[in-house]
Structure 1
Amino acid sequence: MGMILMLLLFLQSLTTSIESTTAKTHRGVSFSYPHFQHLDVKQGIEETKLNLTRETESKEQNGKLRLVHRDKMISLHDSGGRHDPGRRFSDRMKRDVKRVASLTGRLSYEAEAFGSDVVSGMEEGSGEYFARIGVGSPPISQYVVIDSGSDVIWLQCQPCDQCYHQSDPVFNPANSASFAGVSCSSVTCNRLENAYAGCSQEGRCHYQVSYGDGSYTKGTLALETLTMGRTTIQNVAIGCGHKNQGMFVGAGGLLGLGSGSMSFVGQLAGQTGGAFSYCLVSRGTGSSGSLEFGRESMPVGASWVPLVHNLRAPSFYYVGLSGLGVGALQVPISEDVFSLGEQGDGGVVMDTGTAVTRLPTAAYNAFRDAFIAQTTNLPRASRASIFDTCYNLNGFLSVRVPTVSFYFTGGPILTLPARNILIPADNIGTFCFAFAPSPSKLSIIGNIQQEGIQISVDVASGFLGFGPNVC
């Protein structure tokens, strides 16, 4: 692999002021980084406003998709007060608590949990990012939730015994020339494993995926053609859900990006080389992220860290984290706090569906205290939702905040942009430290901390990369 280089990543959309720098050595690699950055408070407040422009079809080629954050979907499916920034913030944190509870429950590995239905990493209504794809022949456009913690791809289908509301007409397989049911004796059906839900009288394979709160999707497994931009992929195994319960903000289904064999990544390993790249954007008017598949999506100049395989949770993307930095200091936290246990507990997961980064309580407390010690110049505010460290930045145009860094196993360091450290809790200047304690040993790097940074996952080679591009 050669020398893995340290990454210092700052969003191009921000003006970062470097007031002083520190030179250090981590894992034998020398680097320097700024002690402080400037957070654009005015821009942060402005970005709490929803962009009500309707999304148009993606014109990207080579399978590259635009990613739309949930807040933009709300502009298409408003239900009253959800245009209020404080309400959206509160709702997002409530969803996040459910998501984390679902993940930690799934990864606690109590003996009685084994042999149950496959539980997706996505909680009901907690889809955070959406993509627009074409399904069938001719292709019918549908919004789908993307989820790095799920494997099964599924879509609501007619005839609907029970379907939730979605923005597009429910997909009708009778109108698709490429739709083909999967027999129970097929290899594809066998790959469902715990998602297998028996056979129909006609010998067709049935699936079921359950969620942590009791919502679910049930139906038949089929092979279908998916269209992404101008790229067409044939014979993709999807769940055709005839009985579905949940609220997915208009999305017709889910595109699983986990590392399992039934995920989109796993199924297309031969065509994509087991590689994909994404860039998440949630705030800002007129902005959108991207999702791209294939080895050509792997950037030159990224900072790569090895993926850590957890036999107990093979769908998730674990990475090795050795420490955290605030300003010029490395926070005194034992590396063991972030390690993956022999029983599959603990460890650090990269997750697109969790918003806020979670850390084991002892690590979080030390990390938070180090941040507070270097922000004594900022006026404090009362806690907001899950956040115990907030600031009243009303009237400020910009403020100086200490740099926050993730120290990864093997040497790379990811330095976060200021906007990924303090986030607005409302539209009147309350900003909160965007981290929270984990209810378990599990650490989760959430999508707020991933925002604006190109994330590349090379499943085949076993590495995850940061940068060098931004969005």
Structure 2
Amino acid sequence: MACFYLFLNIFFFTISISIPPSTPHLTNSTNIDGFTVRLIHRNSHLSPFHNHSLTTSDRIRSAVHRSFSRLNRFHFLSSPSLISDISPNIVPDDGEYFMTFYIGTPPRQVYALADTGSELTWVKCLPRKQRHEETPHTFDPSKSSSYKKLSCFSPSCNTLNMNKRLCTKGSCYYIEKYGDGLTTTGTLSDDKFSFEDDYKNAIDVDHLIFGCSDDASGPVIGNETGIVGLTRRPLSLVFQLNYTKFAYCMVIPTNNQWSGTRSKMYFGSETEFLGGQAPLVIGSNNLYYYLTLQGISVGDEKLHIPSGIFDITENGQGGFIIDSGTTYTLLQGEAFDALVNALSEAISLPQRRNYGEELELCFEGSFEDLVSQPDVTFHLNATDLILTKETTYEEVESGVWCLAILRSKNPLSILGNVQQRNYYVSYDLRNGTEAVYFAPVDCAVF
């Protein structure tokens, strides 16, 4: 581990949105075998969404809303025939961690949400059909000499997994529709991309295909910025860069405060496979990363959960997804009930039920009171994921700690990023060895 830490310190690269959107000094160009970027949590003071006036309770309510938004979106996209069952609140800015990078010639700084649940990387582009949507980091393709639109006859246009594609003046124009009427549109495009290292040198990864989004309509919050797609499909960032592995390490905030950007994402040769291995479910669609959750324990007691409750059904519903963008883990109803009942019996602290609308189990006391209580363990095939108290509970107000796991409102279950904090999570995408590895570390110093 010490050698790996030294290796990362010598070679890792970082991203920060605090620098001005100017032209960086370009270094080593194509065929980069790996790099590291900083992940900026939306509640960090470096985040474009940072709002210092929000209380802890406000942030938690917002995170709950985003978690259900992603659950609804995933359920809809994996079961399009169930469109009438999808509730509202599907929005495109429901992720947690931002990456910043440069597009074009000269390079223009933009930012987008790192998303293991999306394929296409897309950013806001000018001209916007809705003028109020413009931000300082909106990309203007007319000012890039290396930008080009892709035609409807390009292989990438045919590969794009969207609900609908249109030819507009020969260009590949995508329309992505969600279950509640939200629509995002744009042009499939090609331009130069670069990422920034510690010395503010831009690591040029050459041309990538991305979506240049000019509009979003429907019930959106209005802060959508863009997406960095990290799935196993052809247009994702990792596949376009020809990488078969990536990883991330997400820090735990100190006293509920995000002081900086210590969380990181690693690509290609910067990635190591550490810790326990959980094979990916083979045969599932490549849009999401499905794992096999065999059971859950509280302390030494395994919960009585019906067998197969986390399996993918024949019509594509259900399953257990690991996701970087969903805040809180969501469990299928029967499994959630079993967890809540077990914790209620095992923890001898005063309880509060139904704090707010979605936090169903809370305890009164100090964090030290929780430390001595039984751990929650997720039993994945071939490895166990032991949750720390910091990733099991969140303090919603002074002396009140709520279970940071939610009841899923459909058959799908998701492992959220709160429960992945302080784990080095690496993805092996090589054919025949597809798996996710979990190594417990202190991500603040790793």
Instruction: Report the TM-score when normalising by structure 2.
Output: 0.81
Of 387, 409, 422, which aligns to 1:416? 387
Decide whether aligned partners of structure 1 residues 445 and 434 sit closer, same or farther in structure 2, where only a CA change above 3 A counts.
same
Q: Deviations over 1:112-135 (max 9, x none)?
A: 79xxxxxxx973431211111111
SS of equivalent to 1:236 = strand
| Residue in structure 2 matched with residue 185 of structure 1 by the alignment | 153
- For this pair of structures, how many residues does the alignment match? 400
Of 248, 271, 277, which aligns to 1:297? 271
Q: Does 2:69 correspond to 1:98?
A: yes
Q: CA deviation at 1:106?
A: 3.1
Kindly provide the amino acid, as one letter, of the partner of residue 449 in structure 1: Q
| Residue in structure 2 matched with residue 278 of structure 1 by the alignment | 248
Structure 1 gaps, min length 5: 1-52, 114-120
Kindly provide the amino acid, as one letter, of the partner of residue 149 in structure 1: G
Matches within 5 A, 1:171-210: 171-201=139-169, 203-210=170-177
Q: Does 2:336 correspond to 1:364?
A: yes
Kindly provide the amino acid, as one letter, of the partner of residue 406 in structure 2: A
Q: Does 2:365 correspond to 1:393?
A: yes
Q: Does 2:118 correspond to 1:150?
A: yes
| Residue in structure 1 matched with residue 325 of structure 2 by the alignment | 353
Q: CA deviation at 1:212?
A: 4.0
Q: Is the 8 A contact 1:275 1:294 kept in 2?
A: yes
Q: Does 2:185 correspond to 1:218?
A: yes
Answer with 447-456 or 167-176: which moved more: 167-176
Decide whether aligned partners of structure 1 residues 164 and 349 sit closer, same or farther in structure 2, where only a CA change above 3 A counts.
farther
Q: CA deviation at 1:302?
A: 2.4
Q: Does 2:296 correspond to 1:324?
A: yes
Decide whether aligned partners of structure 1 residues 112 and 195 sit closer, same or farther in structure 2, where only a CA change above 3 A counts.
closer
Q: Does 2:225 correspond to 1:252?
A: yes
Q: CA deviation at 1:394?
A: 5.5
Q: Deviations over 1:297-338 (max 9, x none)?
A: 123x32111111354x42000001111111122222233112
Decide whether aligned partners of structure 1 residues 290 and 227 sit closer, same or farther in structure 2, where only a CA change above 3 A counts.
same
SS of equivalent to 1:425 = strand
Instruction: Report the TM-score when normalising by structure 1.
Output: 0.77
| Residue in structure 1 matched with residue 308 of structure 2 by the alignment | 336
Kindly provide the amino acid, as one letter, of the partner of residue 258 in structure 1: T
Report the Cα distance in structure 1 between the residues aligned to 2:114 and 2:90, rounded to whole angstroms: 9
Report the Cα distance in structure 1 between the residues aligned to 2:83 and 2:355, rounded to whole angstroms: 36
Kindly provide the amino acid, as one letter, of the partner of residue 228 in structure 2: L
| Residue in structure 1 matched with residue 11 of structure 2 by the alignment | none
Q: CA deviation at 1:263?
A: 1.5
Of 306, 309, 313, which aligns to 2:279? 306
Q: Is the 8 A contact 2:63 2:328 kept in 1?
A: no
Aligned Cα root-mean-square deviation (Å)? 2.9
Answer with 323-332 or 391-400: which moved more: 391-400
Q: CA deviation at 1:286?
A: 2.2
Decide whether aligned partners of structure 1 residues 122 and 317 sit closer, same or farther in structure 2, where only a CA change above 3 A counts.
farther
Report the Cα distance in structure 2 between the residues aligned to 1:431 and 1:177, rounded to whole angstroms: 54
Q: Taking CA–CA contacts closer than 8 Å with sequence separation of 6 or more, which of the two structures ends up with the larger relative contact order?
A: 1
Kindly provide the amino acid, as one letter, of the partner of residue 267 in structure 1: Q
Q: Deviations over 1:158-178 (max 9, x none)?
A: 122225546524211122222
Kindly provide the amino acid, as one letter, of the partner of residue 306 in structure 2: S
| Residue in structure 2 matched with residue 457 of structure 1 by the alignment | 427
Report the Cα distance in structure 2 between the residues aligned to 1:439 and 1:163, rounded to whole angstroms: 36
Q: Is the 8 A contact 2:41 2:47 kept in 1?
A: no
Report the Cα distance in structure 1 between the residues aligned to 2:45 and 2:221, rounded to whole angstroms: 12
Report the Cα distance in structure 2 between the residues aligned to 1:129 and 1:78, rounded to whole angstroms: 12
Report the Cα distance in structure 1 between the residues aligned to 2:311 and 2:340, rounded to whole angstroms: 20
Decide whether aligned partners of structure 1 residues 322 and 397 sit closer, same or farther in structure 2, where only a CA change above 3 A counts.
closer
Report the Cα distance in structure 2 between the residues aligned to 1:399 and 1:302, rounded to whole angstroms: 24
Answer with 275-284 or 178-187: which moved more: 275-284
Decide whether aligned partners of structure 1 residues 395 and 328 sit closer, same or farther in structure 2, where only a CA change above 3 A counts.
closer
Report the Cα distance in structure 2 between the residues aligned to 1:297 and 1:174, rounded to whole angstroms: 36
| Residue in structure 1 matched with residue 99 of structure 2 by the alignment | 131
SS of equivalent to 2:63 = helix
Decide whether aligned partners of structure 1 residues 54 and 234 sit closer, same or farther in structure 2, where only a CA change above 3 A counts.
closer
Q: Is the 8 A contact 2:76 2:83 kept in 1?
A: no
Q: Is the 8 A contact 1:165 1:247 kept in 2?
A: no
Q: Does 2:402 correspond to 1:429?
A: no
Kindly provide the amino acid, as one letter, of the partner of residue 247 in structure 2: S
Kindly provide the amino acid, as one letter, of the partner of residue 359 in structure 1: L
